């Protein structure tokens, strides 16, 4: 079984040429795929019947992921889908931001997953506590976007942003992740602007360096969570002995190569990494490097970690800001449906949660 969502437009072109059809037939497949969302090849009426039959006989399909559960937050701004793939399932999330609350234009951001589970083992993350199960193929990543794009289209809306912050470590599934990004940003594919995509990583320097060479104007977010190696190792067991310095340096190289400002994500945990002393240590680490810090009060997960008080969060932010470190506190969405940062896991036995 071969999913047409896996093919780059150039590969789609080569496919139709190899089948003995003119080059323009590729666009007659691509246009419906990314704007009409057909469920099978028989729905692409622009193609000759004979060509559709030949594609089916060759084993081609459209979007093998099927929705098996959908849950919406109380305010209606967050939707979580559980999608059934060939032999596993994956969670993906749509977050919508009302312009009256955030200023500017409305945003519909999809948080996509690149793996089932995660091998990084972050002690405060539900996905990390699942352990690693498997990498997703590019077509499985794209299917998450397509499912929400269809939902939004029916409302007269569209996808505005993508964040690779769902299940898994994108850099640990680099080739499939990049293939998906290239298809999703291709002007003959999904056509989303590169600057509307952010890839989040726990901090794999080799992957960050590789990404900087892709000639893509996409955002990079690095999960820091601690200003020193001893504390970071407790929170991220797979972190190396010099991980803080390594990822700070990798972020600098990414900025120098791409000109894109790096965001450091920092999950605030009460009594763990939220003290004024740690805030001062973090400010000294990041002072003057032009990066941005995204403070994330921890969300409820299976781990025994508590969200800091609003006063503690404000104080932490104040210390960073006073030191000249650009920072914001993330507005979390979907916590009550386990759709917020660090909460995703495919637990089919607890679908209603």
Question: What's the helix, strand, coil split of the chain in %, to 5?
Answer: 40, 20, 40
> Residue 229 corresponds to which tokens in the numbers above?
């190696």
Strand-strand pairing, 262-268 and 219-223 = parallel
Our CA angle for 181, 185, 189, nearest 5°, is 105
d(CA 148, CA 80): 10
d(CA 156, CA 171): 34
d(CA 186, CA 189): 5
**DSSP 8-class letter at 137:** P
Sequence-distant (6+) residues with CB within 8 A of 227 are 244, 278, 281, 282, 284, 285
d(CA 77, CA 73): 6
> Residue 247 corresponds to which tokens in the numbers above?
């990822």
Cβ-contact 15, 7 below 8 angstroms: yes
Could you write out the three-class secondary structure of 273-294? CCCHHHHHHHHHHHCCCCCEEE
> Residue 203 corresponds to which tokens in the numbers above?
């901090």
Name 96's bridge partners: 108
d(CA 197, CA 216): 10
What amino acid positions are annotated as catalytic residues?
91, 341
For helices 174-185 and 138-154, angle between their N-to-C axes, nearest 10 degrees: 40
Residue with tokens 């083992």: 121
**In a 3-state reduction of DSSP, which class is residue 301?**
coil
């Amino acid at each position: 079984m071969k999913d047409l969502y896996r093919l780059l437009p150039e590969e789609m072109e080569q496919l139709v040429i190899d089948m003995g059809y003119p080059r323009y037939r590729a666009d007659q497949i691509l246009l419906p795929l990314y704007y009409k969302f057909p469920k099978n090849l028989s729905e692409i009426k622009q193609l000759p019947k004979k060509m559709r039959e030949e594609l089916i006989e060759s084993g081609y399909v459209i979007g093998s992921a099927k929705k098996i559960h959908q849950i919406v937050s109380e305010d209606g701004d967050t939707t979580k889908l559980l999608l059934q793939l060939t032999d596993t399932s994956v969670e993906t999330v749509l977050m919508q931001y009302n312009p009256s609350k955030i200023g500017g234009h409305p945003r519909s951001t999809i948080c996509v997953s690149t793996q089932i589970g995660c091998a990084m083992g972050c002690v405060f993350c539900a996905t990390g506590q699942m352990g690693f199960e498997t990498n997703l193929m590019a077509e499985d990543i794209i299917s998450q976007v397509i499912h929400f794009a269809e939902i939004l289209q029916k409302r007269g809306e569209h996808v505005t942003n993508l964040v690779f912050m769902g299940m898994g470590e994108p850099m640990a599934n680099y080739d499939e992740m990049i293939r998906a990004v290239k298809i999703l940003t291709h002007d003959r594919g999904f056509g989303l602007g590169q600057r509307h995509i952010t890839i989040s990583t726990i901090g794999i320097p080799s992957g960050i360096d590789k990404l900087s060479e892709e000639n893509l104007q996409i955002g990079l977010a690095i999960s820091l969570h601690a200003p020193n190696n001893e504390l970071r190792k407790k929170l991220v067991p797979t972190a190396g002995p010099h991980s803080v310095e390594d990822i700070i340096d990798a972020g600098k190289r990414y900025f120098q190569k791409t000109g894109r400002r790096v965001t450091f994500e920092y999950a605030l945990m009460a009594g763990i990494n939220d003290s004024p002393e740690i805030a001062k240590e973090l400010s000294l680490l990041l002072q003057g490097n032009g990066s941005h810090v995204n403070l994330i009060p921890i969300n409820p997960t299976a781990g025994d970690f508590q969200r800091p008080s609003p006063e503690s969060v404000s104080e932490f932010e104040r210390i960073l800001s006073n030191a000249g470190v650009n920072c914001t506190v993330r507005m979390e969405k979907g916590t009550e449906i386990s759709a917020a940062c660090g909460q995703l896991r495919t637990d089919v036995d607890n679908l209603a949660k």
